[in-house]
Structure 1
Amino acid sequence: MSERALRTSDVARVSGYSVQQVRDLERLGVLPPAARSANGYRGYAPVHVRALHAYRGLAHAMGPVDARRLLVELGAGTLADAAAAVGAVHVRLAREREEVLHAQQALRAIGDETGEDPPEHEGDAMTITELAEALGVRTSTLRFWEDERLLAPARVTSLRARRYGPDAVAAARIVVALRGAGHGIPAVRETLRTLRRGGGLDETSRVLRDRLDRIADRSVALLRAGSDLAAVVTHRAAAVHRTVQCAVLPADDAAPPPRS
Protein backbone atom coordinates (compact mmCIF):
# COMPACT_ATOMS: atom_id res chain seq x y z
CA MET A 1 0.00 0.00 0.00
CA SER A 2 1.30 3.50 -0.78
CA GLU A 3 2.73 5.62 2.05
CA ARG A 4 0.87 8.70 0.80
CA ALA A 5 -1.77 10.19 3.05
CA LEU A 6 -5.04 8.30 2.73
CA ARG A 7 -8.41 10.00 2.73
CA THR A 8 -11.22 8.72 4.91
CA SER A 9 -12.90 7.30 1.82
CA ASP A 10 -9.67 5.47 0.89
CA VAL A 11 -9.50 3.81 4.30
CA ALA A 12 -13.19 2.91 4.15
CA ARG A 13 -12.84 1.32 0.72
CA VAL A 14 -9.78 -0.76 1.66
CA SER A 15 -11.03 -1.84 5.10
CA GLY A 16 -14.64 -2.55 4.23
CA TYR A 17 -15.99 -0.12 6.82
CA SER A 18 -18.10 2.91 6.00
CA VAL A 19 -16.71 6.43 6.14
CA GLN A 20 -18.79 7.16 9.23
CA GLN A 21 -17.59 3.97 10.94
CA VAL A 22 -13.97 4.95 10.32
CA ARG A 23 -14.59 8.36 11.90
CA ASP A 24 -16.47 6.83 14.83
CA LEU A 25 -13.74 4.27 15.54
CA GLU A 26 -11.12 7.00 15.50
CA ARG A 27 -13.23 9.08 17.89
CA LEU A 28 -13.56 6.08 20.23
CA GLY A 29 -9.79 5.57 20.29
CA VAL A 30 -9.82 2.30 18.35
CA LEU A 31 -7.72 3.97 15.64
CA PRO A 32 -4.64 6.09 16.28
CA PRO A 33 -5.42 9.79 15.75
CA ALA A 34 -5.21 10.77 12.10
CA ALA A 35 -2.97 13.61 11.01
CA ARG A 36 -4.77 16.82 10.14
CA SER A 37 -3.93 19.05 7.23
CA ALA A 38 -3.99 22.83 7.41
CA ASN A 39 -7.57 22.84 6.11
CA GLY A 40 -8.65 20.27 8.71
CA TYR A 41 -8.91 17.18 6.49
CA ARG A 42 -7.89 13.86 7.97
CA GLY A 43 -4.82 12.14 6.61
CA TYR A 44 -4.60 8.44 7.36
CA ALA A 45 -1.71 6.00 6.94
CA PRO A 46 -1.47 2.25 6.28
CA VAL A 47 -1.28 1.63 10.04
CA HIS A 48 -4.87 2.86 10.34
CA VAL A 49 -6.00 0.20 7.89
CA ARG A 50 -4.16 -2.43 9.91
CA ALA A 51 -5.83 -1.14 13.07
CA LEU A 52 -9.22 -1.65 11.42
CA HIS A 53 -8.26 -5.18 10.37
CA ALA A 54 -7.14 -5.85 13.96
CA TYR A 55 -10.45 -4.54 15.27
CA ARG A 56 -12.44 -6.69 12.84
CA GLY A 57 -10.62 -9.85 13.91
CA LEU A 58 -10.81 -9.06 17.61
CA ALA A 59 -14.50 -8.18 17.35
CA HIS A 60 -15.16 -11.54 15.73
CA ALA A 61 -13.11 -13.38 18.35
CA MET A 62 -14.29 -11.64 21.52
CA GLY A 63 -17.17 -9.32 20.64
CA PRO A 64 -17.11 -5.67 19.49
CA VAL A 65 -17.41 -4.11 22.96
CA ASP A 66 -14.46 -6.06 24.38
CA ALA A 67 -12.48 -5.47 21.18
CA ARG A 68 -12.94 -1.70 21.41
CA ARG A 69 -11.98 -1.71 25.08
CA LEU A 70 -8.85 -3.75 24.38
CA LEU A 71 -7.66 -1.53 21.53
CA VAL A 72 -8.22 1.62 23.56
CA GLU A 73 -6.29 0.16 26.50
CA LEU A 74 -3.42 -0.78 24.21
CA GLY A 75 -3.28 2.75 22.82
CA ALA A 76 -0.35 3.46 25.14
CA GLY A 77 0.66 -0.18 25.62
CA THR A 78 3.71 -2.14 24.60
CA LEU A 79 4.14 -5.11 22.32
CA ALA A 80 4.35 -7.30 25.43
CA ASP A 81 0.99 -5.91 26.59
CA ALA A 82 -0.56 -6.73 23.23
CA ALA A 83 0.86 -10.26 23.26
CA ALA A 84 -0.49 -10.84 26.76
CA ALA A 85 -3.93 -9.50 25.84
CA VAL A 86 -4.20 -11.70 22.75
CA GLY A 87 -2.91 -14.67 24.73
CA ALA A 88 -5.66 -14.16 27.30
CA VAL A 89 -8.30 -14.32 24.56
CA HIS A 90 -6.73 -17.52 23.22
CA VAL A 91 -7.00 -19.00 26.72
CA ARG A 92 -10.66 -17.97 26.91
CA LEU A 93 -11.41 -19.64 23.57
CA ALA A 94 -9.54 -22.76 24.61
CA ARG A 95 -11.66 -22.89 27.76
CA GLU A 96 -14.86 -22.57 25.71
CA ARG A 97 -13.70 -25.38 23.45
CA GLU A 98 -12.93 -27.58 26.45
CA GLU A 99 -16.43 -26.95 27.83
CA VAL A 100 -18.01 -28.09 24.56
CA LEU A 101 -15.84 -31.21 24.44
CA HIS A 102 -16.93 -32.07 27.98
CA ALA A 103 -20.54 -31.53 26.95
CA GLN A 104 -20.06 -33.88 24.01
CA GLN A 105 -18.68 -36.53 26.36
CA ALA A 106 -21.67 -36.06 28.64
CA LEU A 107 -24.02 -36.33 25.67
CA ARG A 108 -22.38 -39.59 24.55
CA ALA A 109 -22.75 -40.96 28.07
CA ILE A 110 -26.46 -40.16 27.99
CA GLY A 111 -26.76 -41.91 24.62
CA ASP A 112 -24.97 -45.01 25.94
CA GLU A 113 -27.29 -45.44 28.91
CA THR A 114 -29.47 -48.53 28.74
CA GLY A 115 -32.25 -47.19 30.88
CA GLU A 116 -30.86 -48.47 34.15
CA ASP A 117 -29.63 -45.86 36.59
CA PRO A 118 -25.87 -46.29 37.01
CA PRO A 119 -24.69 -46.59 40.58
CA GLU A 120 -23.38 -43.38 42.06
CA HIS A 121 -20.65 -43.31 44.66
CA GLU A 122 -20.12 -40.57 47.20
CA GLY A 123 -16.66 -39.94 45.75
CA ASP A 124 -18.22 -39.17 42.36
CA ALA A 125 -20.25 -36.25 43.72
CA MET A 126 -19.05 -32.66 43.64
CA THR A 127 -19.84 -29.73 45.90
CA ILE A 128 -21.29 -26.59 44.39
CA THR A 129 -17.90 -24.87 44.72
CA GLU A 130 -16.10 -27.75 43.01
CA LEU A 131 -18.60 -27.85 40.16
CA ALA A 132 -18.51 -24.08 39.68
CA GLU A 133 -14.70 -24.15 39.48
CA ALA A 134 -14.78 -27.07 37.04
CA LEU A 135 -17.22 -25.25 34.76
CA GLY A 136 -15.74 -21.77 35.11
CA VAL A 137 -19.00 -20.27 36.39
CA ARG A 138 -20.14 -18.72 39.65
CA THR A 139 -21.91 -20.67 42.36
CA SER A 140 -24.77 -18.19 42.05
CA THR A 141 -25.12 -19.25 38.40
CA LEU A 142 -25.57 -22.88 39.44
CA ARG A 143 -28.20 -21.85 42.00
CA PHE A 144 -29.99 -19.84 39.31
CA TRP A 145 -29.98 -22.86 37.00
CA GLU A 146 -31.46 -24.92 39.81
CA ASP A 147 -34.23 -22.33 40.27
CA GLU A 148 -34.87 -22.54 36.52
CA ARG A 149 -35.13 -26.36 36.74
CA LEU A 150 -32.04 -26.98 34.62
CA LEU A 151 -30.17 -28.82 37.37
CA ALA A 152 -31.41 -31.04 40.15
CA PRO A 153 -28.61 -31.60 42.69
CA ALA A 154 -29.02 -34.08 45.51
CA ARG A 155 -28.98 -32.51 48.95
CA VAL A 156 -27.12 -34.33 51.73
CA THR A 157 -25.92 -33.54 55.26
CA SER A 158 -27.98 -31.87 57.91
CA LEU A 159 -27.10 -28.45 56.47
CA ARG A 160 -28.66 -29.39 53.12
CA ALA A 161 -25.39 -28.72 51.31
CA ARG A 162 -25.65 -29.31 47.57
CA ARG A 163 -23.93 -32.38 46.13
CA TYR A 164 -23.89 -32.95 42.37
CA GLY A 165 -23.69 -36.54 41.15
CA PRO A 166 -22.51 -37.68 37.68
CA ASP A 167 -25.92 -37.07 36.09
CA ALA A 168 -26.11 -33.51 37.42
CA VAL A 169 -22.51 -32.81 36.40
CA ALA A 170 -23.22 -34.08 32.89
CA ALA A 171 -26.34 -31.89 32.67
CA ALA A 172 -24.38 -28.88 33.92
CA ARG A 173 -21.74 -29.34 31.21
CA ILE A 174 -24.44 -29.46 28.54
CA VAL A 175 -26.08 -26.34 29.98
CA VAL A 176 -22.77 -24.44 29.85
CA ALA A 177 -22.24 -25.40 26.20
CA LEU A 178 -25.80 -24.58 25.14
CA ARG A 179 -25.79 -21.24 26.96
CA GLY A 180 -22.45 -20.43 25.34
CA ALA A 181 -24.00 -21.21 21.97
CA GLY A 182 -26.61 -18.53 22.62
CA HIS A 183 -29.56 -20.69 23.68
CA GLY A 184 -31.94 -19.08 26.15
CA ILE A 185 -33.06 -20.67 29.40
CA PRO A 186 -36.41 -22.00 28.02
CA ALA A 187 -34.65 -23.62 25.04
CA VAL A 188 -32.03 -25.23 27.28
CA ARG A 189 -34.73 -26.49 29.63
CA GLU A 190 -36.63 -28.08 26.75
CA THR A 191 -33.45 -29.66 25.36
CA LEU A 192 -32.63 -31.23 28.73
CA ARG A 193 -36.22 -32.44 29.09
CA THR A 194 -36.00 -34.07 25.66
CA LEU A 195 -32.66 -35.69 26.47
CA ARG A 196 -34.02 -37.14 29.70
CA ARG A 197 -36.82 -38.75 27.66
CA GLY A 198 -34.21 -40.39 25.48
CA GLY A 199 -34.62 -38.14 22.44
CA GLY A 200 -33.01 -35.06 21.04
CA LEU A 201 -29.51 -36.51 20.99
CA ASP A 202 -28.92 -35.82 17.30
CA GLU A 203 -30.06 -32.20 17.45
CA THR A 204 -28.04 -31.44 20.60
CA SER A 205 -25.01 -33.12 19.06
CA ARG A 206 -25.39 -30.89 15.98
CA VAL A 207 -25.60 -27.78 18.16
CA LEU A 208 -22.38 -28.74 19.93
CA ARG A 209 -20.58 -29.43 16.64
CA ASP A 210 -21.69 -26.03 15.34
CA ARG A 211 -20.42 -24.46 18.55
CA LEU A 212 -16.99 -26.05 18.02
CA ASP A 213 -16.91 -24.78 14.45
CA ARG A 214 -17.67 -21.23 15.58
CA ILE A 215 -14.96 -21.37 18.25
CA ALA A 216 -12.46 -22.53 15.61
CA ASP A 217 -13.55 -19.68 13.33
CA ARG A 218 -13.07 -17.16 16.13
CA SER A 219 -9.64 -18.61 16.92
CA VAL A 220 -8.51 -18.16 13.31
CA ALA A 221 -9.81 -14.57 13.34
CA LEU A 222 -7.79 -13.94 16.49
CA LEU A 223 -4.63 -15.32 14.87
CA ARG A 224 -5.07 -12.94 11.94
CA ALA A 225 -5.76 -10.01 14.23
CA GLY A 226 -2.59 -10.68 16.21
CA SER A 227 -0.30 -9.73 13.34
CA ASP A 228 -2.19 -6.50 12.62
CA LEU A 229 -2.33 -5.62 16.30
CA ALA A 230 1.44 -6.11 16.65
CA ALA A 231 2.01 -3.74 13.72
CA VAL A 232 -0.25 -1.08 15.28
CA VAL A 233 1.37 -1.28 18.71
CA THR A 234 4.87 -1.23 17.20
CA HIS A 235 3.95 1.84 15.13
CA ARG A 236 2.59 3.66 18.17
CA ALA A 237 5.68 2.79 20.23
CA ALA A 238 7.94 4.11 17.49
CA ALA A 239 5.92 7.34 17.29
CA VAL A 240 6.24 7.85 21.05
CA HIS A 241 9.97 7.19 20.86
CA ARG A 242 10.37 9.79 18.11
CA THR A 243 8.40 12.33 20.14
CA VAL A 244 10.61 11.76 23.19
CA GLN A 245 13.75 12.12 21.12
CA CYS A 246 12.56 15.43 19.64
CA ALA A 247 11.70 16.69 23.12
CA VAL A 248 15.24 16.17 24.46
CA LEU A 249 17.06 17.69 21.47
CA PRO A 250 18.51 21.16 22.20
CA ALA A 251 16.70 24.07 20.66
CA ASP A 252 18.48 26.04 17.92
CA ASP A 253 18.92 29.07 20.12
CA ALA A 254 20.45 26.90 22.85
CA ALA A 255 23.18 25.50 20.61
CA PRO A 256 26.72 26.41 21.66
CA PRO A 257 28.38 29.14 19.58
CA PRO A 258 30.80 27.98 16.88
CA ARG A 259 34.43 27.86 17.93
CA SER A 260 36.63 30.50 16.34
Structure 2
Amino acid sequence: MDWASLIGIALALAGVFLGHGLDGGKLASLVQPAAFAIVVIGTAGAVLLQTETPTFIRAMKMLRWVFRPPPSQRQTLARDIALWSNHARRDGLLSLEQHMLDTRDPFVQKGLRLMIDGIHPDKLRGLMEAEVTAYEFAQRQAAKVWESAAGYSPTIGILGAVLGLIHVMENLSDPSRLGAGIAVAFVSTVYGVGLANLFFYPIGNKLKSIVAETVTQYEILTEVFYDISSGDHSRVIDERVASLLSRP
Protein backbone atom coordinates (compact mmCIF):
# COMPACT_ATOMS: atom_id res chain seq x y z
CA MET A 1 0.00 0.00 0.00
CA ASP A 2 1.30 3.43 -0.99
CA TRP A 3 0.44 5.47 2.08
CA ALA A 4 1.72 8.67 0.46
CA SER A 5 -1.13 8.50 -2.06
CA LEU A 6 -3.73 8.00 0.64
CA ILE A 7 -2.28 10.83 2.72
CA GLY A 8 -2.17 13.05 -0.36
CA ILE A 9 -5.86 12.48 -1.09
CA ALA A 10 -6.75 13.08 2.56
CA LEU A 11 -4.77 16.34 2.64
CA ALA A 12 -6.29 17.54 -0.63
CA LEU A 13 -9.84 16.94 0.57
CA ALA A 14 -9.07 18.31 4.04
CA GLY A 15 -7.71 21.50 2.53
CA VAL A 16 -10.85 22.06 0.47
CA PHE A 17 -13.28 21.25 3.26
CA LEU A 18 -11.31 23.15 5.90
CA GLY A 19 -11.06 26.25 3.76
CA HIS A 20 -14.75 26.03 2.95
CA GLY A 21 -15.60 25.68 6.65
CA LEU A 22 -13.37 28.55 7.73
CA ASP A 23 -15.31 30.85 5.44
CA GLY A 24 -18.53 29.81 7.16
CA GLY A 25 -19.60 27.34 4.49
CA LYS A 26 -21.44 24.13 5.21
CA LEU A 27 -20.33 20.72 3.99
CA ALA A 28 -23.84 20.00 2.74
CA SER A 29 -23.55 22.87 0.26
CA LEU A 30 -20.82 20.96 -1.59
CA VAL A 31 -22.93 17.84 -1.92
CA GLN A 32 -24.82 18.28 -5.18
CA PRO A 33 -25.70 15.01 -6.96
CA ALA A 34 -26.79 16.84 -10.10
CA ALA A 35 -23.47 18.66 -10.42
CA PHE A 36 -21.54 15.46 -9.68
CA ALA A 37 -23.47 13.56 -12.37
CA ILE A 38 -22.86 16.27 -14.96
CA VAL A 39 -19.11 16.43 -14.35
CA VAL A 40 -18.30 12.77 -13.76
CA ILE A 41 -20.58 11.20 -16.37
CA GLY A 42 -19.83 13.92 -18.89
CA THR A 43 -16.08 13.55 -18.41
CA ALA A 44 -16.30 9.76 -18.71
CA GLY A 45 -18.28 10.12 -21.93
CA ALA A 46 -15.81 12.56 -23.45
CA VAL A 47 -12.85 10.34 -22.56
CA LEU A 48 -14.56 7.26 -23.99
CA LEU A 49 -15.30 9.15 -27.20
CA GLN A 50 -11.62 9.85 -27.84
CA THR A 51 -10.16 6.59 -26.47
CA GLU A 52 -10.10 3.07 -27.86
CA THR A 53 -11.91 0.61 -25.60
CA PRO A 54 -8.85 -1.58 -24.79
CA THR A 55 -6.87 1.53 -23.81
CA PHE A 56 -9.69 2.77 -21.59
CA ILE A 57 -9.98 -0.61 -19.86
CA ARG A 58 -6.20 -0.69 -19.35
CA ALA A 59 -6.35 2.79 -17.81
CA MET A 60 -9.02 1.66 -15.34
CA LYS A 61 -6.96 -1.38 -14.37
CA MET A 62 -3.85 0.77 -13.89
CA LEU A 63 -5.70 2.92 -11.35
CA ARG A 64 -4.88 0.40 -8.61
CA TRP A 65 -1.17 1.18 -9.12
CA VAL A 66 -1.76 4.58 -7.52
CA PHE A 67 -2.41 2.85 -4.19
CA ARG A 68 -0.66 -0.48 -4.77
CA PRO A 69 2.28 0.15 -7.13
CA PRO A 70 3.91 -2.88 -8.71
CA PRO A 71 6.70 -4.03 -6.36
CA SER A 72 10.22 -3.14 -7.41
CA GLN A 73 11.91 -5.94 -9.34
CA ARG A 74 15.42 -4.51 -9.26
CA GLN A 75 16.89 -6.86 -6.66
CA THR A 76 15.20 -9.87 -8.24
CA LEU A 77 16.36 -8.90 -11.72
CA ALA A 78 19.91 -8.31 -10.50
CA ARG A 79 19.99 -11.79 -9.01
CA ASP A 80 18.46 -13.36 -12.12
CA ILE A 81 20.88 -11.58 -14.45
CA ALA A 82 23.82 -12.97 -12.49
CA LEU A 83 22.36 -16.49 -12.77
CA TRP A 84 21.73 -16.14 -16.51
CA SER A 85 25.24 -14.87 -17.10
CA ASN A 86 26.89 -17.65 -15.10
CA HIS A 87 24.84 -20.44 -16.62
CA ALA A 88 25.26 -19.16 -20.18
CA ARG A 89 29.02 -18.82 -19.76
CA ARG A 90 29.41 -22.22 -18.09
CA ASP A 91 26.80 -24.38 -19.85
CA GLY A 92 25.84 -22.47 -22.97
CA LEU A 93 22.73 -20.53 -23.94
CA LEU A 94 20.55 -23.65 -24.06
CA SER A 95 20.90 -23.91 -20.27
CA LEU A 96 18.70 -20.81 -19.97
CA GLU A 97 15.59 -22.73 -20.97
CA GLN A 98 14.66 -23.55 -17.37
CA HIS A 99 14.95 -19.88 -16.43
CA MET A 100 12.63 -19.02 -19.32
CA LEU A 101 10.05 -21.53 -18.06
CA ASP A 102 10.29 -20.24 -14.49
CA THR A 103 9.69 -16.55 -15.19
CA ARG A 104 6.23 -14.98 -15.54
CA ASP A 105 7.34 -11.76 -17.19
CA PRO A 106 6.52 -11.98 -20.95
CA PHE A 107 9.35 -9.56 -21.76
CA VAL A 108 11.95 -11.67 -19.94
CA GLN A 109 10.53 -14.85 -21.48
CA LYS A 110 10.89 -13.42 -24.97
CA GLY A 111 14.46 -12.24 -24.38
CA LEU A 112 15.56 -15.61 -23.00
CA ARG A 113 13.76 -17.47 -25.79
CA LEU A 114 15.51 -15.41 -28.46
CA MET A 115 18.88 -16.14 -26.85
CA ILE A 116 18.11 -19.86 -26.61
CA ASP A 117 17.05 -19.88 -30.27
CA GLY A 118 20.42 -18.47 -31.24
CA ILE A 119 19.14 -15.20 -32.71
CA HIS A 120 22.00 -12.91 -33.72
CA PRO A 121 22.73 -10.39 -30.94
CA ASP A 122 22.05 -7.35 -33.14
CA LYS A 123 18.75 -8.80 -34.33
CA LEU A 124 17.86 -9.73 -30.75
CA ARG A 125 18.51 -6.19 -29.57
CA GLY A 126 16.33 -4.77 -32.34
CA LEU A 127 13.45 -7.09 -31.50
CA MET A 128 13.61 -6.32 -27.78
CA GLU A 129 13.84 -2.58 -28.40
CA ALA A 130 10.70 -2.84 -30.52
CA GLU A 131 9.06 -4.72 -27.65
CA VAL A 132 10.01 -1.94 -25.21
CA THR A 133 8.66 0.71 -27.56
CA ALA A 134 5.34 -1.12 -27.97
CA TYR A 135 4.99 -1.61 -24.22
CA GLU A 136 5.81 2.02 -23.45
CA PHE A 137 3.38 3.33 -26.07
CA ALA A 138 0.49 1.18 -24.82
CA GLN A 139 1.07 2.03 -21.17
CA ARG A 140 1.57 5.75 -21.76
CA GLN A 141 -1.61 5.91 -23.84
CA ALA A 142 -3.48 4.39 -20.91
CA ALA A 143 -1.94 6.88 -18.47
CA LYS A 144 -2.94 9.73 -20.79
CA VAL A 145 -6.59 8.75 -20.32
CA TRP A 146 -6.40 10.32 -16.87
CA GLU A 147 -4.73 13.44 -18.26
CA SER A 148 -7.53 13.69 -20.82
CA ALA A 149 -10.08 13.47 -18.01
CA ALA A 150 -8.24 16.31 -16.29
CA GLY A 151 -8.51 18.39 -19.43
CA TYR A 152 -12.22 17.81 -19.96
CA SER A 153 -13.60 17.97 -16.42
CA PRO A 154 -13.10 21.75 -15.81
CA THR A 155 -14.83 22.59 -19.08
CA ILE A 156 -17.68 20.21 -18.34
CA GLY A 157 -17.87 21.82 -14.92
CA ILE A 158 -18.44 25.14 -16.66
CA LEU A 159 -21.10 23.46 -18.79
CA GLY A 160 -22.78 22.34 -15.55
CA ALA A 161 -22.58 25.91 -14.29
CA VAL A 162 -24.32 27.21 -17.41
CA LEU A 163 -27.03 24.55 -17.09
CA GLY A 164 -27.52 25.56 -13.47
CA LEU A 165 -27.90 29.21 -14.45
CA ILE A 166 -30.40 28.25 -17.15
CA HIS A 167 -32.35 26.45 -14.46
CA VAL A 168 -32.23 29.60 -12.33
CA MET A 169 -33.49 31.79 -15.17
CA GLU A 170 -36.35 29.40 -15.82
CA ASN A 171 -37.52 29.70 -12.24
CA LEU A 172 -37.14 33.40 -11.50
CA SER A 173 -40.81 33.50 -10.61
CA ASP A 174 -40.31 30.82 -7.91
CA PRO A 175 -37.70 32.06 -5.40
CA SER A 176 -37.79 28.75 -3.52
CA ARG A 177 -36.13 27.00 -6.47
CA LEU A 178 -33.44 29.57 -7.16
CA GLY A 179 -31.06 28.33 -4.47
CA ALA A 180 -30.81 24.82 -5.89
CA GLY A 181 -30.05 26.09 -9.38
CA ILE A 182 -27.38 28.50 -8.19
CA ALA A 183 -25.80 25.74 -6.07
CA VAL A 184 -25.56 23.41 -9.05
CA ALA A 185 -24.03 26.22 -11.10
CA PHE A 186 -21.18 26.95 -8.72
CA VAL A 187 -20.61 23.46 -7.34
CA SER A 188 -20.28 22.04 -10.88
CA THR A 189 -17.28 24.29 -11.41
CA VAL A 190 -15.82 23.21 -8.08
CA TYR A 191 -16.21 19.54 -9.01
CA GLY A 192 -14.70 20.02 -12.45
CA VAL A 193 -11.63 21.96 -11.34
CA GLY A 194 -11.21 19.94 -8.14
CA LEU A 195 -11.33 16.54 -9.83
CA ALA A 196 -8.89 17.69 -12.51
CA ASN A 197 -6.24 19.14 -10.21
CA LEU A 198 -6.65 17.02 -7.08
CA PHE A 199 -7.19 13.63 -8.71
CA PHE A 200 -6.95 13.22 -12.49
CA TYR A 201 -3.67 15.07 -13.14
CA PRO A 202 -1.87 13.52 -10.12
CA ILE A 203 -3.10 10.04 -11.08
CA GLY A 204 -1.88 10.44 -14.66
CA ASN A 205 1.53 11.73 -13.58
CA LYS A 206 2.01 8.95 -11.05
CA LEU A 207 1.11 6.27 -13.58
CA LYS A 208 3.57 7.74 -16.06
CA SER A 209 6.36 7.58 -13.47
CA ILE A 210 5.56 3.92 -12.76
CA VAL A 211 5.61 3.14 -16.47
CA ALA A 212 8.92 4.97 -16.86
CA GLU A 213 10.45 2.83 -14.10
CA THR A 214 9.41 -0.40 -15.84
CA VAL A 215 10.61 0.86 -19.22
CA THR A 216 14.01 1.67 -17.72
CA GLN A 217 14.30 -1.87 -16.37
CA TYR A 218 13.35 -3.31 -19.75
CA GLU A 219 15.91 -1.14 -21.51
CA ILE A 220 18.65 -2.43 -19.20
CA LEU A 221 17.44 -6.00 -19.71
CA THR A 222 17.63 -5.49 -23.47
CA GLU A 223 21.31 -4.62 -23.16
CA VAL A 224 21.84 -7.57 -20.80
CA PHE A 225 20.33 -9.98 -23.33
CA TYR A 226 22.60 -8.50 -25.99
CA ASP A 227 25.68 -8.83 -23.78
CA ILE A 228 24.97 -12.44 -22.82
CA SER A 229 24.13 -13.55 -26.35
CA SER A 230 27.26 -11.91 -27.76
CA GLY A 231 29.46 -13.49 -25.06
CA ASP A 232 30.64 -10.23 -23.52
CA HIS A 233 32.89 -10.29 -20.46
CA SER A 234 31.07 -10.79 -17.16
CA ARG A 235 32.40 -7.40 -16.06
CA VAL A 236 30.18 -5.70 -18.66
CA ILE A 237 27.14 -7.48 -17.29
CA ASP A 238 28.15 -6.56 -13.73
CA GLU A 239 28.13 -2.92 -14.81
CA ARG A 240 24.61 -3.35 -16.18
CA VAL A 241 23.50 -4.78 -12.84
CA ALA A 242 25.19 -1.90 -10.99
CA SER A 243 23.33 0.56 -13.22
CA LEU A 244 20.04 -1.20 -12.49
CA LEU A 245 20.57 -1.06 -8.73
CA SER A 246 21.95 2.47 -8.59
CA ARG A 247 18.96 4.24 -10.10
CA PRO A 248 16.93 6.22 -7.54
- TM-score higher than 0.5 here? no
TM-score normalized with structure 1 length: 0.35
Q: Which structure: larger Rg?
A: 1
TM-score normalized with structure 2 length: 0.37
Q: Quick check: which one's strand share is greater?
A: 1
User: Which structure has the higher relative contact order (CA within 8 Å, separation 6+)?
Assistant: 2
Q: Quick check: which one's helix share is greater?
A: 2
